[in-house]
Amino acid sequence: MDGQEQMKTIPFLTPDGETVELYVLEDTMLQGIHYILVTEELDQGTEEASAMIMKEETQSGENEFAVYDIVENEEELQALAAVFAEQMEDVDFKL
């Protein structure tokens, strides 16, 4: 990413009601479900960073915002990590 390009952020509401801005590193659709790879901090000076894979949850009703939950299923995580690793060629995932 060049220095002038802005990374997209999304607000995430934690279980205790705190709002945290997360950087969206990549996104993908798999079997009709939208997934995003996010991180809290962009520290490009280190080789390792923490990231989460989040899954869009279907909503009933008229909500203007998408709702995402952290993916916790190990098989789903492994499959998504492989997809994101392919999209982000220079990234290795450790689950």
Domain limits, the chain: 9-87
pLDDT of residue 26: 92
Q: Whose CA is closest to 69, among 81, 86, 57, 85? A: 57
Mean pLDDT of 78-89: 87
What is the rounded distance in angstroms from the CA atom of residue 18 to the CA atom of residue 75? Answer: 29
Question: Whole-model pTM above 0.75?
Answer: yes
Which comes out higher in pLDDT, residue 61 or 5?
61
> Beta partners for 29?
34
Which comes out higher in pLDDT, residue 83 or 89?
83
Contact 95, 32 (CB under 8 A): no
Q: Whose CA is closest to 13, among 58, 50, 66, 49? A: 66
pLDDT of residue 61: 61
Digit-coded pLDDT (tens) for 19-70: 999 999 999 998 899 999 999 887 665 566 788 999 998 766 666 778 888 9
Q: Whose CA is closest to 56, among 23, 86, 12? A: 12
